[in-house]
Amino acid sequence: MECIEEHPYLIELSKTKGFEDSVYMLSFQDSRDNALKFISEYGAGISISPNGLKVLECMDLKSEFCKVSEQPKNTVFFSNNKKITDILSEVRTTSRKNLYKILLKKYLSLDGEIFFDHRLEHLDIHNKNITFSNTKSFNVCHVAACDGIKSICQEMISQSNVKPQFSGYSVWRAIFPHKQNEINFYLGSNFHIVTYPIDRKRISFIAAVKSKIEYIESWKEKGTLSELLSEIEFDILKKYPSIEHSSDIYKWGIYTRPELKNLSYQNMTFFGDAAHPIVPFIGQGASLALEDVFIFGSLLSKYKNDFKATQKDYDSLRLKRIRSIHKKSLNQAKLNHLSNPMTVFARNILMKYTNVILKRTNSIWSYDVKKVIKSKLY
């Protein structure tokens, strides 16, 4: 439901692996035009690390993605605007909408359908029936819940009715003209800034702030440059003067949910942020969602559409990985926002004179979905 990142591989399997039923995307957008507007920039770039690129390669989408994305030369780290160190970059960066368009194109090429204006009203997961606010109802064999951190599906089956909780961090986002061929990390007191190219003329600007102000969890909530400047002790205008002319600056509260004990429940399976929302400080949101669906789809194919067997192995393969990434992301949030001068000094020394950065990134990026599947099934 709703999130395009998770659907193309599922429908590809349905068409090529003998799955008898169809796969549909049910969208809360009320029309195709609005869905296309939904796939807009909203100040959001995206970075895909090697583990996510491996999934795109398995979907025969990597070459197309590379055509619309950039390969930054280095990742450079600064503290109080002074360079600490740099490493070779292995991620590709672009506008979020470019990735969405590639996935949407793949989905539609496989005869995927999108039903618009379908807001979930009732879910009878035991009898495999879903009903929407437009009174339409479907009997299904399985529900792939990809409806984000505000997952209605999760709320409908949850006994505790736990709502997303504010993490204590907020993010400012913008896209504006600036030529840059590297990823820059600026670490400051209770904030950090990341910039990277999304094409040859523009960059994505992200400023994460440790804050008591609870901004709403929304891609569309606009902010102002004066608000941004008041929250961050960094001369943004000196470094990036063209941000002053950007009319699209967005603010976004970072929220989390308690970890799920299982990623599946009866005839429903969760993917992406609906399964595991994490604070976005190691750039793994999209890549994790791609990993989720590739592994689930591969298992479903191997088990000849036996959902119960698939769900069991999906849980066993994904939970450890997800919890590891969640923990690392929370730890990175703390490291990025240190304010005590002694701990800042210690962090910077470790970053400059040890392989701590490479060790961390390799532990995340070396994950290979094909090897994971092979180790489980063969």
Note whether 38 and 110 are same-domain residues.
yes
Whether residues 28 and 142 fall in one domain = yes
- pLDDT higher than threshold 80 for residue 24: no
pLDDT of residue 41: 54
At residue 288, what is the residue type?
A: L
Task: Indicate the SS3 state at residue 255.
Answer: strand
For range 274-295, the mean pLDDT: 92
Cβ(75)–Cβ(99) under 8 Å?
no
Give the residue-averaged pLDDT of 271-291. 92
- Kindly give the interhelix angle for 307-336 and 369-377, rounded to the nearest 10 degrees: 140
Q: For residue 369, is it within any domain? A: yes
248 and 277 both lie in a single domain: no
Give pLDDT, residue 320. Answer: 94
Q: Same domain, yes or no, for 314 and 243?
A: no
Shared-domain flag, residues 35 and 105:
yes
- Candidate from 124-128, 305-309, 312-316 with smallest mean pLDDT: 124-128
Considering the domain architecture, whether residues 346 and 285 belong to the same structural domain is answered as yes
In a domain, 233, yes or no: yes
The average confidence (pLDDT) of the chain is 86
Domain end, chosen from 255, 287, 317, is at 255
Among 220, 255, 290, which residue terminates a domain? 255
Single out the residue of 51, 53, 73, 72 nearest to residue 63, CA to CA.
53
pLDDT at 34 over 90: no
Q: In whole angstroms, how far apart are CA 163 and each of 166, 190, 258, 281?
A: 10, 26, 9, 22
Both 155 and 15 in a single domain? Answer: yes
> What's the mean pLDDT in 70-87?
95
Confidence class for position 14, pLDDT limits 50, 70, 90:
very low
User: Based on the domain organization, do 249 and 279 belong to the same domain?
Assistant: no
Residue in the block written with tokens 């595991």: 276
Structural domains counted in the chain: 2
Domain endpoint, select from 203, 224, 255 = 255
Please state whether beta strands 45-48 and 74-79 pair in parallel, antiparallel, or not at all (unpaired): unpaired
Q: Mind listing the pLDDT tens digit for each residue in 300-311?
A: 999 999 999 999
Domain membership of residue 286 as a residue range: 4-69+97-161+267-377
Residue 251 above 50 pLDDT? Answer: yes
In this structure, is residue 77 part of a structural domain?
no
Given this model, what pLDDT does residue 31 score? Answer: 52
More confident residue, 2 or 313: 313
Co-location of 196 and 320 in the same domain: no
CATH number at residue 354: 3.50.50.60
- Identify which of 82, 121, 88, 38 has the alpha carbon closest to the alpha carbon of residue 362: 88
Predicted local distance difference test score (pLDDT) of residue 26? 55
In this model, does residue 10 exceed pLDDT 80? Answer: no
Chain segment 207-237, per-residue pLDDT in tens: 999 887 777 777 678 888 888 888 888 888 8
Of 27-31, 57-61, 139-143, 246-250, give the lowest mean pLDDT range.
Answer: 27-31
pLDDT in tens, 163-172: 888 898 999 9
End-to-end CA distance of the chain: 31
Torsion of CA 48, 270, 34, 106, to 10 degrees: 60
Distance of alpha carbon 79 from the chain centroid: 26
Do 27 and 48 reside in the same domain of the chain?
yes
Whether 237 and 327 map to the same domain: the answer is no
Please count the residues of the chain. Answer: 378
Q: Could you tell me the pLDDT band of residue 19, with boundaries at 50, 70 and 90?
A: very low
